[in-house]
Chain A
Amino acid sequence: MMRDLTELGIAAIRDGVAAGEFTAVEVTEAFNANVAAARALNAFIVETPEIALDMAKAVDADRAAGKELGKMAGVPIGMKDLFCTEGTQTTAASTILSGFVPHYESTVSANLWKAGAAMLGKLNLDQFAMGSSNETSAFGNVISPWRIGGGNDAPLAPGGSSGGSSSAVSARLCPAATGTDTGGSIRQPAAFTGITGVKPTYGRCSRWGVVAFASSLDQAGPMAHDVRDCAIMLGSMAGFDPKDTTSLDLPVPDWEAALSSDMRGKKVGIPREYRMDGTDQDILESWDKGIAWLKDAGAQIIDISLPHTQYALPAYYIIAPAEASSNLSRYDGVRYGMREVPEGANLQDMYAATRSAGFGPEVKRRIMIGTYVLSAGFYDAYYTQAQKVRTLISQDFEAAFQKCDVILAPTTPTASFSLGDKSKDPLAMYLNDVFAVPASMAGLPALSVPCGLNKDGLPLGLQIIGNMLDEQSVLNAGLAIEERAGFTARPDKWW
């Protein structure tokens, strides 16, 4: 009478392995089997069952030897394929990095392995983390495990860019996965698939070894079943890294130990500017429910204003592409990855041919936008202006956090949509991140926690945004919602 170990999350696996209820190898084997059986989701670019087993064996051996186990000992996870992993292909879901096998390990993944986690494989994503539906990957779309049902089997978007992560966690292919969030890429897919995802304060997690999209915005974070699991995993990912000068030289708090859903004495701000046209009624209703739950948890609800919210998305779509256009210059076919050399080509021809063939359309679009906004004559009108907007957005939040401890808002304006629905309209796609982008621009910690289903039976998420470095309040408010939302819905297994 074997229990299904893939039903367990991080805390349960860690505790079970530590207590000897089951072995890390047993856990890993169970998840390896789920991964192998779920190729229809296309969540993984590379599966690494052998690596996962070796890492699990090491944990079991440590336990047998009586050694102290790490905080994620025995927990197999999925690794977004934006993190460089030594000896395992790393592509950022782009053809231009096809066949690239790093000789180094990203700091975040190394931290996780040190904590005893094991790697099930490299997860699919939007190419270079650019996208909100996981339709820009060179390795094909990731399919959400969720369906509307009732005869409507249209494949749905798992969100993006961490769509492989959200799909895999939601479908129980792994108990948790890493994500990265530049403008919502953890929170939006978490919301679309009924899981929890945390983007910590900018600088909590080292960016060293993470393929860069937009350096001033990129932040790694955990995606898992619940708030506690995210707290555990974030604790294992975070920490100062002298190799990343933007990483924060601060101790990592024990977020798990300080989890509390008691919101008495806490003030929750409700930003009036987030009541936008085009937001689904279901979303607005879920927001109201969230307000009620936090009240129930003892919080005081206050109305706040974040007056520059409407400028956040346009400013984001200047700053992020600007940085990306420069960050992606290194993919030139000279030293690694793809190289296209047409007959008789000179150096410039090789660059053009390689980059034309290697980058997907959305990546090219953002390189073009970024190049444009940085060019002579346009720089001040776009880039400088966008940086000013960014400062104003930060000031909005600073003022708000004088009045409240956390901010409650929807994660997304809609639930998941069908693949193909928005892929031809970039602006409609970009709007998905309208609620997520402001916290990214200000570098603030934020999470998405599942709060229920919409009328189509698709998951919805609520977002908590916290003050700089105050992940604890974000996690605690998320936990208060989680306890009251009682979200237990699961996608029906069709894959």
Chain B
Amino acid sequence: MSNKYTVQGASGEFEVIIGLEVHAQISTQSKLFSGSSTEFGAQPNSQVSLIDAAMPGMLPVPNMECMRQAVRTGMALGAQINKYSRFDRKNYFYADLPQGYQISQLYHPIVGEGEIEVTLDEKDPDSATKRIGVERIHVEQDAGKLMHDQHPTSSYVDLNRCGVALMEIVSKPDMTSPREAGAYVKKLRSILRYVGSCDGNMEQGSMRADVNVSVRRAGEELGTRTETKNVNSIRFLMQVVEIEARRQVDLIEDGGTVIQETRLFDPNRMETRSMRSKEDAHDYRYFPDPDLLPVELDDAFLEECKQSLPELPDEKRVRYENELGLTAYNAAVLTAESETSFWFEELLAQSVERTGKSDKDLAKQCANWLLSELFGALNKLGVTLEESPVSPSQGAELLSLVADGTISGKIAKDVFEIMLETKQGAEQIVEEKGLKQVSDTGAIEAAINDIIAANEDKVAQYRGGNARLLGFFVGQTMKAMQGKANPQIVNEILKKKLDS
């Protein structure tokens, strides 16, 4: 069966072509051309400089940290870095744009072509991968925000966001399904967060996408595309592709024509609506900003950008598989988000330090504990990894108690529960509650002797061939030892006694 995504119309199947323009807010303290803070959620108009407000005679001064982050992002996408780039003005009037123009990079963007490899199903390690081209990344100013709900007849404007640096990451029209589009943004977001150039927070608007969609019958020329603006979640993005493709197919089949236009997504009504057609489109009158010199990057700058790049998710995933011996699935899940991999690596490093064992020996245990125990607990608590009540160092403390046989894996689960509740360290809990595993064969043997004596019928059944009863004896022994007996030793002694 072909995995190809198509939209079924009455007259046949249609292919969908998708291109994305992702706007990612660059994580810097100050704005692209002014010293104002970029912090989210401040009082309206409290982070506005004379430059942001476009007072007469004010001039922009580029924040080179923004350019550095764009370059690092480009490098992470294996993209061409343009040592010469330039800012242009995009002219239009709107109340959220005090200058009357947005400073952007049309003619000479700072980053050229690159690509992103996406895995279509991250849960499936054997799932197909696809390379999606990145056309360019340019740096530009964000606009302010209009507030229409403050006054019955007037609108207010908050200029805090005005002038904040954005990267516009433009893909090639290489995606052909909602899933590919979703996977692309997910992967892009992951890379941005690894690089540290954008926090990827779509809810706060630090990442949003303009979604270009067109449809065509197989083998035909590209259809006319529409652009749905400012889509702010991956789920919405996938819905937009689906809804917009459906709308275009229906339109074509009804004898209509898709017109090139800008549309808005209404998640409540699950529809896209026309915002303005190409005829109404602004003529932005782009021209080089005469207030700014071209940006020329030297080799030392580029080298520093390169050196400062962290290990990226794809490299990490391969290393986890090959060097740490993790399963492809675990490696993929651990590296999908930078926070998870950082947490994992910290947990592993601390465990190595505590136990003196090699990271390869401990990796599997750490991965399993993190992905099942910790994630399970965080899920229940409804918090993110960053908000975890247990730190990697505390996790390592717990795991090393298991690794050196101080407690059993089962007891570890109980200890972890207590850790979550009390925030106490594992060692302290084990000490105070007397949970240390008993590996003293004498004590275990004594307990086993009592159990065998008390269950002669079951012993007979076992010896008669009912091997499954071993579990019963293990259980009884553990119960008698309050779960603290070393299960391996319990097994050994039981087998010796029952089989003799």
Instruction: Say whether A associates with B.
Output: yes
Binding site for B on A (CB under 8 A): 83-84, 90, 92, 97, 100, 102-104, 106, 207-212, 214-216, 242-246, 322-323, 325-326, 328-330, 332, 334-336, 347-348, 351, 371, 374-376, 379, 383
* B56, B60, B155, B292: residue with the most chain A Cβ atoms closer than 10 Å: B56
Q: Which B148-162 residues have C-beta < 8 A from chain A?
A: 155, 157
Considering the complex, give the chain A residue whose CB is closest to the CB of B100: A329
B498 CB-CB contact with A under 8 Å: no
**A207 in contact with B57 (CB, 8 Å):** yes
Beta-carbon nearest neighbor of B91 in chain A: A326
- Which B residues lie within 8 Å of A84 (CB)? 55-57
**CB within 8 Å for A209 and B100 given contacts A326-B91, A347-B95:** no
Among residues of A, the one whose C-beta sits closest to the C-beta of B93 is A351
Residues of B within 8 A of A (CB-CB), count: 30
A-contacting residues, B274-304, CB 8 Å: 283, 285-287, 290-293
Name the CB-closest residue of A to B51. A243
B56 with A323: CB separation less than 8 A: no
Find chain B residues with CB under 8 A from A92 CB: 56
Once the chains bind, are A374 and B287 in contact (CB under 8 Å)?
yes
Q: How far is the CA of A209 from the CA of B55 in the complex (A)?
A: 9
Choose among B55, B157, B285 the residue that contacts A102 (Cβ–Cβ < 8 A).
B55
Q: Are A245 and B61 in contact (CB under 8 A)?
A: yes
State the CA gap A376–B283 with chains docked (Å).
7
B residues within 8 A CB of A328?
Answer: 100
Q: Does B325 contact A (CB under 8 A)?
A: no
- Contacts A102-B56, A208-B58, A383-B287 known; list 5 others, CB within 8 Å: A216-B290, A336-B55, A336-B56, A347-B94, A347-B155
B89 within 8 A of A: yes
Interface residue from B50, B62, B95, B285 paired with A374 (Cβ < 8 Å): B285
A334 adjacent to B98 (CB under 8 Å): yes
Q: Is the CB of B57 within 8 A of A211?
A: yes
| Complex: A375 Cα to B100 Cα, angstroms | 15
Q: Are A243 and B290 in contact (CB under 8 A)?
A: no
Counting from the closest, the 7 A-B pairs by CB-CB distance are: A329-B100, A374-B285, A215-B290, A216-B290, A330-B54, A209-B57, A211-B56
B interface SS class: loop
A83 and B291 CA atoms in complex are apart in Å by 17
Taking CB atoms, residues of chain A closer than 8 Å to B290 are: 214-216, 323
A245 and B285 form a contact (CB under 8 A): no
B56 touches A374 (CB 8 A): no
**Interchain CA distance A214-B95 in the complex, whole Å:** 23
Given the known interface contacts A216-B290, A332-B100, A334-B98, the answer about A242 and B285 at a Cβ–Cβ threshold of 8 Å is no
Closest to A370 in B: B285
B56 touches A90 (CB 8 A): yes
The SS class assigned to the A binding surface is loop
Does any Cβ of A come within 8 Å of B377's Cβ?
A: no
Residues of B within 8 A of A100 (CB): 56
Assembled-state Cα–Cα distance A196/B91 (Å): 39
Per-position binary interface string of chain B over residues 397-424, scored 1 when its CB falls under 8 Å from any chain A CB and 0 otherwise: 0000000000000000000000000000
B93 near A332 with CB under 8 A, answer yes
Tell me the smallest distance from the CB of A242 to a CB of chain B, in Å: 7
> Is A245 in contact with B59, judged by CB distance below 8 angstroms?
yes
Q: In the assembly, what is the distance between CA of A104 and CA of B93, in Å? A: 25
Contact B57 A106 (CB under 8 A): yes
- B489 near A: Cβ within 8 Å? no
Measured CB to CB, the closest approach of chain A to B26, in angstroms, equals 19
Q: For A383, give the chain B residue with the smallest CB separation.
A: B287
Q: Which residue of B lies closest to A82 (CB)?
A: B57
Q: Knowing A374-B285, A376-B283 are in contact, say whether A326-B56 is a contact too (CB < 8 A).
A: no
Contacting pair A371 B285 (CB below 8 A): yes
Q: Which residue of A lies closest to B159 (CB)?
A: A335
- The complex places the Cα of A215 from the Cα of B50 at a distance, in Å, of 18
- The answer to whether B287 and A326 have CB atoms under 8 Å apart is yes
14 of the cross-chain contacts (CB-CB < 8 Å) are A90-B56, A100-B56, A104-B55, A243-B59, A244-B59, A245-B59, A245-B60, A325-B91, A326-B91, A329-B91, A329-B101, A374-B287, A379-B285, A379-B286
B101 close to A243 (CB less than 8 A): no
A336 to B285, CA, bound (A): 25
- Cβ of B99 within 8 Å of any chain A Cβ, yes or no, is yes
Name the residue on A nearest B89 (C-beta): A326
Partner of B59, one of A208, A329, A332: A208
* Residues of B participating in the A interface, judged by any CB pair closer than 8 Å: 50, 53-62, 89, 91, 93-95, 98-101, 155, 157, 283, 285-287, 290-293
* A335-B50 in contact (CB<8A): no
**C-alpha spacing A208/B57, complex, angstroms:** 6
Min distance, Cβ B240 to any Cβ of chain A, angstroms: 28
- Once the chains bind, are A212 and B98 in contact (CB under 8 Å)? no
Q: Within 8 Å CB of A244, what residues of B?
A: 59, 61
A242 to B63, CA, bound (A): 12
Q: How far is the CB of B67 from chain A (nearest CB, A)?
A: 13
A214–B288 Cα distance when bound, in Å, is 13
B176 CB → nearest A CB, Å: 31
A208 to chain B, nearest CB (A): 5
A98 to chain B, nearest CB (A): 13
| 8 Å CB contact of A245 from B100, B157, B286, B292 | B292
- B287: chain A residues at CB < 8 Å are 322-323, 326, 374, 379, 383
A376 to B95: give the CA distance in the assembly, Å.
23
Assess the A326–B58 pair: CB atoms within 8 A: no
Checking A214, A242, A326 against B61 with a beta-carbon cut-off of 8 angstroms, the contacting residue is A242
Minimum CB–CB distance from A79 to chain B (whole Å) comes to 13
Query: Does the CB pair A330–B285 fall under 8 Å?
Result: no
Q: Identify which of B57, B94, B157 contacts A212 (C-beta below 8 A).
A: B57
Q: Which residue of A lies closest to B33 (CB)?
A: A245
In the assembled complex, the Cα of A332 lies from the Cα of B55 at a distance in Å of 11
Tell me, in angstroms, the Cα distance from A211 to B57 when the chains sit together. Answer: 4
Kindly report which residue of chain B lies nearest to residue A97, judged by CB atoms. B56
Q: How far is the CA of A329 from the CA of B102 in the complex (A)?
A: 11
Looking at B53, B54, B62, B290, which has the most chain A CB atoms within 10 Å of its CB? B290
In contact, B293 and A246 (Cβ under 8 angstroms): yes
Q: Bound state CA distance, A326 and B93, in angstroms?
A: 10
Give, as a whole number of angstroms, the nearest-CB distance from A204 to chain B.
16
Chain B residues with CB under 8 A of A329: 91, 93, 99-101
CA–CA, A246 and B59, complex, Å:
10
Indicate if the CB atoms of A374 and B59 lie closer than 8 Å.
no
CA distance A336 to B56 in the complex (A): 9
Of all chain B residues, the one with the shortest Cβ separation from A212 is B57
Judge whether A335 and B58 touch: CB under 8 Å. no
Query: A83 vs B57: C-alpha distance in the bound complex, in angstroms?
Result: 8
- B286 CB contacts on chain A under 8 angstroms: 374, 379
The answer to whether A330 and B56 touch (CB under 8 A), given A245-B293, A376-B283, A379-B287, is: yes
Q: How many whole Å from B308's CB to the nearest CB in chain A?
A: 25
Complexed CA–CA distance, A207 and B291 (Å): 9
C-alpha gap A45/B114 in the complex (Å): 57
Q: How far is the CA of A376 from the CA of B91 in the complex (A)?
A: 12
A364 to chain B minimum Cβ distance, whole angstroms, is 15
Contact in complex: B292, A375 (CB < 8 Å): no
A347 — which chain B residues lie within 8 A by C-beta?
94-95, 155
Q: Once the chains are docked, how many angstroms separate the CA of A126 from the CA of B62? A: 32
Contacts of A375 in B (CB 8 A): 283, 285
